[in-house]
Chain A
Amino acid sequence: MDFVRNFPLFSVALCLMSAVLCSVLGAKPAKWLTLSVQAVNCCLSASVAAFCLCTGESYLYPMGFIGAPWGNELRGGVLEGLIGSSAALVLCMSVLGGVRFIKRDILPAKQNLYFLLINLVGAAVTSLIYTNDVFTGYVFLEILTLSSCGILMIRDIGRTTLAATRYLILNLMGSGLFLLGLILSYDITGHLLMQSMAGSFDLLEQSGEHAIVASVAVGLICVGLGIKSGLYPFHFWMQDTYGSATPSSAAVLSGVVSKGYIFLLIKIMCRVIGIGSPLLEGARFILLVLGILGIVMGSVGAMRQSSVNRMIALSSAAQIGYIYVGIGLGTELSLAAAILQLIAHMLTKPLLFLAAARLTEVSSGSPVFKALQGSGRRDPFAGAMFSAGAFSMMGIPAFAGFSAKLYFCVAAVEYQDLAARWAVLLALAVSTVLNTYYFIRTAIRIWSPIGPAAEKPPRHELAFVAASTVLVALNLVIGLWSGQISRVISAGIEMLS
């Protein structure tokens, strides 16, 4: 067996081991351990993607001596490798870019626990991405829920505790519904492994038995994961959660955590139920409608915010709406667009959160727009990085956001149902205008010359410069070479089903 095939296991085991190690290390070694483990994790996943792209097929990896369908199993493929490596990279960059804020916001005695939780987030997301077993998905979903709650509330201010409580309640509701869905489908299929479940679902569909259970189970799984990833109308926790957490946590929560849930949903849809299956039609329609509503309402909500991090937070609702529109349309093109958007958003949101935190810092610590006036002039590098992120969100050509939106348009134009096509196109147009409105407004704010003078010139910080440069560079790479990347993604989607 090729050695590369072991890499998914190594990624998960590395993250788990480093989490355990962080519990006994001090803050500084824990930080370096976390950063290096996530960097290694990124390389491992990238090699899996490259390997599968070269061999042209995905592979199954039994976890133990007894393989499918009795034991656990991982699955390596192009998409898994691609998303796994981007998630690990974004995790690494979010922590690196916000290191100073971690020191500022978190008690010194608890900083190693923060890095521990970041490692657990990494392990959970990696497992969610690679798993080929729905119950393993559930277990790591729980780890992800708890650890993301932890990195949110570790900033010890009242608001984060409140936000964490709200986040936990909603997330547990989502997990509960997801688990109910799994139980019901296990009851009628007798399997937890994805391809075995898919076989049983096919047989059930042909015989017409237990149709009600199957559709309720599918509905529960979709709704559960939808709630967890912040699909409209379950997005209202976002502004408090992302807005009050320490910038690294906000970046991780919006960039990595929600994407883990969404990718699990995509995987279950493609590999268990079958994206074109009639069972999924109702659920896809609902996801499409909620996605469109999310796009519009998220943008309107973001427009009405008076502080920059709450605005960025709520614009996530719109961006996640795009992904759900892609899933809802359910064609190969739209799924590719959804995955591209997933990666683009993963790279852009952390950049915006980190840059906004620095701009806030040079504006006497206040994130409201009035205080931010002229902050780009006080910290030009952060201003430039924020503007780059904003350009990507608006969909300016050459940035990743543009290519994602372009692929959505193409997918919508080629969609056969006329009403859905126009609804999606209209939503895209409206949201682009709204996106541009609130991001341009912020960009004008931060670059306009008036405003209080800086108390002290911003410190040059290599960590932030490196992290944001990497994120912008990747953003540009995806924007400029979107053709090649979308071909890779299409190859991955073909392997998925």
Chain B
Amino acid sequence: MKNSAFAGFLRWLDGDPEILLGAEEMTEQPDVPRDSQKQRIHHLEHVLKDHPLPVPRAFSRRNVRIFYAVVSVVCCLVIISCLLLAVSDLPRFGVEHAEVEEVTEKYVLDGLEETGAVNIVSGIILDYRAFDTLGESFVLFCALNCVLILLRTDSREEEHDISYYSLSGDDVLRKSIMFTLPLVLVFGVYVLLNGHLSPGGGFSGGAVMGGGLILLSTGYGGEVTGRFITERRFKTVCFIALSFYCLSKSYVFFTGANGLETGISLGTPGAILSSGLILPLNIAVGMVVTCTMYGIYRMFKKGSF
């Protein structure tokens, strides 16, 4: 009766704030021999044999595990069948649906004229739906900062003793980097600058350039890349790229919504200096992507720049 609800309520009135926990019942425990580890274990085994731990059968660990396994399989099957049903009901690929293609039709037909970009994808992501892309570059920025929070140690020491799996100093790698790195970086710049003319753009060009920097840092160690990518420079590039992106797009959104002139010319479609803000925005996005990729790599590798 000591742990009944009524007794608990009485105790609560008396000032004990926990009704549910119940009164603690202390029983005297037999003396534990303290001689040796072996004896103690033997004693514990003995005690456990006499008084097995009160685990209710229904909730034993094994039953719970079986329950979870069954439930997860059932859930997966239900979700799989729902999705398969949905897929079988989707409009067939390649069949024309006039009502579904209002948006895409406009992109394809008027994209070049309205955005000045020969590459319609660039036109869509940096003009029609530029707000989404602004968000995407901030997703990268946010991810970079989360990695900084998690991994940054600011250790002034040399890179940890990771030589047994580090490739830095490997001659074959170093020689091949000497040949490939210029090509990789130039290709990255090409993809970046031609984003409005041919497939590519800030995200892909930035990824290629970031990959190049990671390659260099893998083969030659952080001190080589660290010579020209200091923390200060890294921050400055990110800051300039993102604030340019944010400010210029806000200006375009503002003028667009208010029906004002932007004063930005679209140029001749097909020329390298054309399509208004798309080229500088591609460069800004490229910078952010490069910094993010390289920064995350350095954080994982060393914990500082």
Given the complex, which residues of B lie within 8 Å of A62, measured CB to CB?
A: 256-257
Query: In the complex, are the beta carbons of A113 and B135 less than 8 A apart?
Result: no
- Residues in B whose Cβ lies below 8 Å from that of A72: 128-132
Contact with A along B117-152 (1 / 0, CB 8 A): 000000000011111101110110111011011101
Bound Cα distance from A1 to B88, whole angstroms: 47
0/1 string, A419-461, CB within 8 A of B gives 1: 0000000000000000000000100110010000000000000
Give the residues in chain A near B139, CB-CB below 8 Å: 139, 142-143, 146
Roughly how many angstroms separate A29 CA and B215 CA in the complex, as a whole number?
37
Give the contact-size bracket for chain B. 35 or more
Question: Number of contacts between A and B (CB, 8 Å)?
Answer: 176
Docked-complex contact A117 and B18, CB < 8 angstroms: no
Give the residues from 77 to 125 in chain B that come closer than 8 angstroms, CB to CB, to chain A: 82-83, 85-86, 88-91, 97, 99-104, 106-107, 114
Contact string, B238-249, partner A, CB cutoff 8 A, digits 1/0?
110011001100
- Please judge, given known A-B contacts A64-B127, A150-B145, whether A143 and B135 are in contact too, CB under 8 Å: yes
Shortest beta-carbon distance, A86 to chain B, in Å?
Answer: 23
Q: How many angstroms between the C-alpha atoms of A282 and B277 in the bound complex?
A: 46
Contacts of A63 in B (CB 8 A): 130-131, 253, 256-257
Kindly list chain B residues whose C-beta atoms are within 8 Å of the C-beta of A203.
Answer: 99
Please classify the interface of chain B as helix (H, G, I), strand (E, B), loop, or mixed, using the class held by over half of its residues.
Answer: helix
Knowing A113-B149, A441-B17, say if A20 contacts B246 (CB, 8 Å): yes
A6, B238: Cβ atoms closer than 8 Å: no
Q: How far is the CB of A65 from chain B (nearest CB, A)?
A: 4
* Cβ 8 A contact of B149, one of A17, A21, A150: A150
Contacts of A216 in B (CB 8 A): 82-83, 85-86
Q: Is A285 an interface residue (CB 8 A)?
A: no
A138 vs chain B, min Cβ distance (A): 9
Asked whether, in the complex, the Cβ of A200 is within 8 Å of the Cβ of B99, the reply is yes
**CB within 8 Å of B: which A108-151 residues:** 109-110, 113, 116-117, 120, 123, 127, 133, 135-136, 139-140, 142-143, 146-147, 149-150
CB closest residue in chain A, given B101: A190
- Inter-chain CA distance A127–B246, complex, in Å, is 14
A69-B103, A72-B129, A213-B90 in contact; A190/B257 too (CB < 8 A)? Answer: no
Roughly how many angstroms separate A133 CA and B133 CA in the complex, as a whole number?
A: 13
Q: A441–B18 contact, CB under 8 A?
A: yes
Bitwise, A296-314 to B at CB < 8 A (1) or not (0) is 0000000110000000000
A9 at interface (Cβ–Cβ under 8 A)?
yes
Tell whether, in the assembled complex, residue A154 and residue B101 are in contact, meaning their CB atoms are under 8 Å apart.
Answer: no
Looking at A89-97, A181-189, A472-480, the stretch in contact with chain B turns out to be A181-189
Assess whether A23 is in contact with B20, with CB atoms less than 8 Å apart.
no
The 5 closest A-B pairs by CB, nearest first: A190-B100, A139-B135, A216-B86, A72-B131, A65-B256
Chain A residues with CB under 8 Å of chain B are 1, 5-6, 9, 13, 16-17, 19-21, 23-24, 61-66, 69-72, 109-110, 113, 116-117, 120, 123, 127, 133, 135-136, 139-140, 142-143, 146-147, 149-150, 153-154, 161, 180, 184, 187-192, 200, 203, 210-213, 216-217, 219, 303-304, 369, 441, 444-445, 448
- Could you list some 10 contacts between A and B, CB below 8 A? A24-B235, A24-B239, A66-B127, A72-B132, A116-B145, A190-B102, A192-B103, A211-B89, A216-B83, A441-B17
Residues of B within 8 A of A (CB): 15, 17-18, 20, 82-83, 85-86, 88-91, 97, 99-104, 106-107, 114, 127-132, 134-136, 138-139, 141-143, 145-146, 148-150, 152, 154, 235-236, 238-239, 242-243, 246-247, 250, 252-259
Known: A64-B252, A190-B100, A216-B86. 15 other contacts (CB 8 A): A5-B257, A9-B257, A17-B243, A20-B242, A61-B257, A123-B138, A127-B135, A133-B132, A135-B129, A140-B135, A143-B139, A161-B150, A190-B103, A213-B86, A369-B17
